[in-house]
Amino acid sequence: MADSRTTRSSDGLGSSSPAPAVTRAAAVLDALAASAGGRLTLSDLSRELGIPKSSTSNLLLALEEARLISRQGSEFTLGRKLVELGAAYLSRLDEVQEFYRYCEQAPTLSGETVRIAMLDGTNVIYLARYEGHPAVRLTSNIGDKMPVSLCAVGKALIARLRDHDLDDMFPDDAQLPVMTPKSLRTGRELKAQLQVIREQGYAFEDEESTTGVVCLGVAVPTRGAHGPSLGLSVTALKATYTPEQGAQMVKELRELAHSLGNPMGS
């Protein structure tokens, strides 16, 4: 793969942007979020942006003053201000508020671990999580990303895409991320499962991301022409899961999906 720096001008990332500082600041946050340990040095970030250390240092100083990043010795991490901004964003999503209201009173879902997620390319991002079952805490948290091939909600969402778009995203020989022995391994396997999901109207994940855990997922009807692509999932322990329980979970997930996808409310 070609060095990404060869695609940049000599002025580094953001040089062609109408607001280079903003573009570079966003790149800093993205780099810190993607780093394995959540920490990067000035040198690391200077290389990532392709600009001198002096310019990077000034940028980091501004981000630190805004509490968007935090300095820990010679390293930088994401700042707590991002949590405040994320919480403010989620609090203004009507879908998230309705999600919590429904889960609290639902006969079955009120005792389970339920999540709402948004499609982001070949991943989903979890926006909210209702904790009705403290035993299932190995699954993703708010803000986490998960490859669509590894989760029921992701597969339920991409099952709505057109076949030619799926072929572009997941060629038959594409190698998918693997987390357990039951994870799907190729684009061909994924697309075969999507056909089943389309027929039954929901997705079932059988220990594909976490051993001992199963998950059911449904897509939320699109809310308006430019609404986010949202999905719902419920997680259960395989040792206690039954088809009858699953049928009730799917029924309630569909009711909630209908409510969230209806601009007039439930």
Q: What is the pLDDT of residue 127?
A: 85
Percent of the chain whose pLDDT exceeds 70: 83
pLDDT in tens, 103-148: 999 999 999 999 999 898 999 998 888 988 665 555 567 778 899 9
Q: What is the pLDDT of residue 71?
A: 92
The domain over range 15-83 is classified in CATH as 1.10.10.10: yes
pLDDT in tens, 31-64: 998 888 889 999 999 998 899 999 999 999 999 9
Q: Are strands 69-72 and 230-237 parallel, antiparallel or unpaired?
A: unpaired
pLDDT in tens, 69-84: 999 899 999 887 887 7
- Please state, in angstroms and as integers, the Cα–Cα distance from residue 134 to each residue in 68, 110, 118, 242, following that order: 32, 12, 23, 19
The answer to whether residue 2 scores a pLDDT higher than 90 is no
The answer to whether residue 199 scores a pLDDT higher than 60 is yes
Q: Enter the tokens of residue 45.
A: 């970030």
The answer to whether residue 21 scores a pLDDT higher than 90 is no
Q: What is the pTM of this model?
A: 0.68
| Alpha-carbon dihedral angle through residues 176, 181, 184, 185, given to the nearest 10 degrees | 40
- 3-state SS, residue 67: coil
Q: What is the pLDDT of residue 139?
A: 59
The answer to whether residue 91 scores a pLDDT higher than 90 is no
The answer to whether residue 3 scores a pLDDT higher than 90 is no
Q: Which amino acid is at 142?
A: I
Fold of 93-261: Beta-Lactamase (3.30.450)
Domain edges within the chain: 15-83, 93-261
SS3 content of the chain, % helix, strand, coil (to 5): 45, 20, 35
Higher pLDDT, 41 or 262: 41
* Cβ partners under 8 Å of residue 157, min gap 6: 117, 119, 124, 148, 217, 219, 229, 231
Q: What is the pLDDT of residue 223?
A: 59
The answer to whether residue 264 scores a pLDDT higher than 50 is no
